[in-house]
């Protein structure tokens, strides 16, 4: 049985449905990410779960208890809003202790609990400082510990990495995952960034305009978006519009003229040519790259404009500038193709001319 159950939840603000009959579940001890663009309803979900907002329809169950209309103080849910909401006049210690004092626990218990959490999150040396005296990443950890200290049933995080310097985001993501994993607390966090979700989540729920478009594991969502709307909501790279298409009868294939150039795909005998192809997604992990030509269909020449190490994923991302020379596309037009390769296999340099081959399995067609 699921630990968190959101059943047909709807919330209307004035005359607009911000959440429209959404349902999803989360297993105990897992981290679930809600991903979608700004204004799609992500934060509204958190506010209905914590009790700040009351839904017009649907139910919210935590560990089989229906908390849909329970008072905030009785829900025992930890919530870290996007602005952290730390108390500026209190020390780090007192910020973390706030929820514990509300439970009227003894000072010895509070001291031991905070020492344990501070060691786990490497904040032991800043307990006596005020929030303005520590870094943004440390402030976010303090907010996280303040929510965790009272041992809530559920932890909610609103864009936990959005206000963090880029150099610290990966480090903070590791802290969040480590603390969540060691405390074994079921966690729901929202983000507009697919990369954040992939770093942290066991399960991803894609939301747009108050509706759930798709849910699944990070690998499933990333590699197999169900629709072009999902791909756009995720902010997936290597997503290109298709301007025209034609059948190649002799090879039983379809030629798509796209923003990235001409793409040829095999098609089944019963393919419906009346269907309009809206776009294509090219999986960046299924693109071959070499310094010599491939002499195969769906191969392109390009120039590397960026080499981005991603040690957390043990990979390197290459941005390759592709010159378009097919169909009605302007020969001077250019597009960037994103390619992921294992870090151990990268011997490419910026400005190097390369050849790319898009495997058939890399192509996802959106109609």
pLDDT 10s digits, 155-165? 999 988 776 66
pLDDT of the residue at 329? 40
pLDDT of the residue at 194? 82
Neighbours of 230 (CB within 10 A): 20
For 59, the 3-state DSSP assignment is: strand
pLDDT of the residue at 249? 67
Confidence of residue 186 (pLDDT cuts 50, 70, 90): very high
Count Cα neighbours of 52 within 13 Å in the Cβ-side half-sphere: 12
**How far is residue 167's CA from residue 137's CA, in Å, rounded to a whole number?**
10
Q: Are 337 and 287 in contact (CB under 8 A)?
A: yes
pLDDT of the residue at 38? 85
pLDDT of the residue at 169? 75
Q: Report which of 78, 98, 74, 75 is spatially closest to residue 86, judged by C-alpha positions.
A: 98
Is the model's pLDDT at 222 over the cut of 60? yes
* Overall average pLDDT of the 31-57 stretch: 93
User: Where is average pLDDT lowest: 11-20, 90-99, 208-217, 249-258?
Assistant: 249-258
Percent residues over pLDDT 70 in the chain? 92
Is the model's pLDDT at 312 over the cut of 80? no
In SS3 terms, 81-112 reads as CCCCCCCCCCCHHHHHHHHHHHCCCCHHHHHH
| Beta strands 353-358 and 154-158, pairing class | unpaired
Is the model's pLDDT at 167 over the cut of 70? no
Name which residue leads in pLDDT, 34 or 310: 34
| Burial class, 269, CB count within 10 angstroms (exposed 0-12 / middle 13-18 / buried 19+) | exposed
| Beta strands 211-216 and 261-266, pairing class | unpaired
Confidence of residue 331 (pLDDT cuts 50, 70, 90): very low
pLDDT in tens, 242-299: 888 887 767 677 788 888 888 888 877 766 666 678 888 999 999 999 999 998 889 9
Q: 53: which 2 tokens?
A: 């907002």
**How far is residue 59's CA from residue 67's CA, in Å, rounded to a whole number?**
8
pLDDT of the residue at 119? 85
pLDDT in tens, 50-77: 999 999 999 999 999 999 999 998 999 9
**How far is residue 58's CA from residue 24's CA, in Å, rounded to a whole number?**
12
Percent residues over pLDDT 90 in the chain? 39
Name which residue leads in pLDDT, 313 or 178: 178
Q: Within the chain, how many helices (H) and strands (E) appear?
A: 9, 20
pTM of the model: 0.77
Is the model's pLDDT at 40 over the cut of 50? yes
pLDDT of the residue at 241? 85
**How far is residue 248's CA from residue 263's CA, in Å, rounded to a whole number?**
12
**How far is residue 26's CA from residue 62's CA, in Å, rounded to a whole number?**
10
**How far is residue 209's CA from residue 203's CA, in Å, rounded to a whole number?**
20
Element (H, E) at 48: helix 42-50
pLDDT of the residue at 330? 45
Distance of CA 340 to the CA centre of its chain: 18
Confidence of residue 105 (pLDDT cuts 50, 70, 90): confident
CA-to-CA separations, 198 to 35, 205, 208, 223, in angstroms, rounded: 10, 11, 18, 12
User: Where is average pLDDT lowest: 80-94, 202-216, 268-282, 318-332?
Assistant: 318-332
pLDDT of the residue at 32? 96
Residue ranges of domains in the chain, CATH in brackets: 4-234 (3.40.50.300), 239-366 (2.40.50.140)
| Beta strands 203-208 and 31-35, pairing class | parallel
pLDDT of the residue at 165? 67
Q: Are 118 and 111 in contact (CB under 8 A)?
A: no
Strand arrangement, sheet containing 315-323: 287-290, 353-358, 299-310, 315-323, 334-342
Mean pLDDT, rounded, of the chain:
86
Name which residue leads in pLDDT, 177 or 339: 339
Q: 175: which 2 tokens?
A: 């802290």
Is the model's pLDDT at 324 over the cut of 70? no
């Amino acid at each position: 049985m699921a630990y968190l159950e959101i059943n047909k939840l709807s919330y209307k603000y004035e005359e607009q449905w911000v959440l429209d009959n959404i349902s999803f579940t989360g297993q105990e001890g897992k981290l679930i990410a809600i991903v979608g663009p700004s204004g799609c309803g992500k934060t509204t979900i958190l506010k209905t779960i914590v009790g700040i907002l009351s839904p017009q329809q649907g139910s919210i169950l935590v560990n089989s208890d229906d908390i849909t209309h329970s008072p905030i103080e009785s829900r025992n849910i930890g919530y870290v809003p996007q602005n952290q909401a730390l108390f500026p006049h209190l020390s780090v210690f007192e910020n973390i202790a706030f929820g514990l004092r509300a439970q009227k626990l003894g000072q010895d218990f509070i001291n031991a609990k905070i020492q344990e959490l501070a060691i786990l999150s490497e904040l032991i040396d800043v307990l006596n400082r005020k929030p303005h005296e520590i870094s943004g990443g440390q402030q976010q950890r303090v907010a996280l510990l303040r929510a965790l200290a009272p041992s809530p049933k559920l932890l909610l995080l609103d864009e936990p990495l959005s206000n963090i310097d880029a150099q610290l985001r990966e480090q903070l993501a590791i802290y969040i995952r480590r603390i969540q994993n060691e405390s074994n607390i079921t966690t729901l966090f929202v983000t507009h960034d697919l990369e954040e979700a992939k770093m942290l989540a066991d399960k991803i729920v894609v939301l747009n305009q108050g509706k759930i478009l798709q849910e699944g594991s990070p690998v499933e969502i990333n590699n197999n978006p169900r629709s072009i709307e999902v791909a756009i909501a995720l902010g997936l790279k290597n997503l290109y519009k298709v301007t025209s298409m034609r059948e190649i009868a002799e090879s039983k294939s379809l030629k798509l003229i796209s923003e990235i150039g001409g793409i040829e795909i095999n098609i089944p005998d019963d393919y419906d040519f009346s269907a309009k192809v809206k776009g294509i997604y090219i999986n960046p992990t299924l693109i071959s790259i070499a310094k010599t030509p491939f002499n195969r269909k769906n191969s392109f020449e390009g120039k590397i404009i960026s080499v981005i190490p991603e040690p957390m994923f043990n990979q390197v991302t290459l941005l390759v500038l592709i010159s378009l020379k097919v169909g009605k596309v302007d020969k001077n037009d250019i597009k960037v193709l994103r390619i992921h390769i294992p870090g151990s296999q990268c011997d490419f340099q910026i400005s190097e001319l390369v050849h790319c081959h898009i495997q058939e399995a890399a192509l996802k067609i959106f109609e």
